[in-house]
Amino acid sequence: MRWHRLLAFTVLFAACSPSTTPATTPVPVATTAPTTTLAPTTTLDRLTEIEAIYQDLEERRLDALYRGDREAFRALYVDNGYLDQSMQLFDLVEFEAAPVVDVELIDILTDEPDCIAAERVMHRQDKDASGDPSVQVLELRLGVWLISFTGSGWICEGPHPFDS
């Protein structure tokens, strides 16, 4: 046990000591697994990235609604069944001014390479109160994140609720 402390002190001292030449001996690699799989900055970076994805999609969705641009609205959805349901509301939504929204993520439920599910709430400047929290699922298609589903009961696994 004492030689472990001596080895650790030697490695720490060597790593912290100034050196004029690059080290030529390899640094020992820890054999135990780290307690977390991602460094805190990586987690924060990923959270920021996911927030930006949700923010961008919501801004584009509201802009398409405001301008009455059906094609821009359709281009945001990956699932035709959910798109069809969303299109039923397209003509019912009217804005007096371009909506400004801030998407706040409450919880990341799934973060997979091709699917993200998060509980989020939208704060719009044209409303006094924020919207209710809801789960929204996004899918990556051809390198682009698109809206797949909003609601409860489905988070990236199994058949999509709107698939026939």
Residue-wise pLDDT tens digits, 114-127 = 999 999 999 988 77
Q: Mean pLDDT lowest for which of 15-29, 77-91, 137-151?
A: 15-29
In this predicted structure, what is the pLDDT of residue 98?
Answer: 87
Question: Which DSSP category does 75 fall into?
Answer: T
Letter string b/e over residues 134-150, b meaning 16 or more CB atoms within 10 A of that residue's CB = ebbbbbbeeeebbbbbe
The domain over range 40-150 is classified in CATH as 1.10.490.20: no
Task: Kindly list the domain boundaries of the chain, sorted by start residue.
Answer: 40-150
Using only the alpha carbons of the chain, give its radius of gyration.
24
Coil, strand or helix: which one is 81?
helix
How far apart (Å, rounded) are the C-alpha atoms in residues 137 and 153?
A: 11
How far apart (Å, rounded) are the C-alpha atoms in residues 70 and 72?
A: 6
The fraction of the chain above a pLDDT of 70, given in percent, is: 68
pLDDT per residue over 9-65, tens digit each? 333 333 444 444 444 444 344 433 333 333 334 478 999 999 999 999 999 999 999
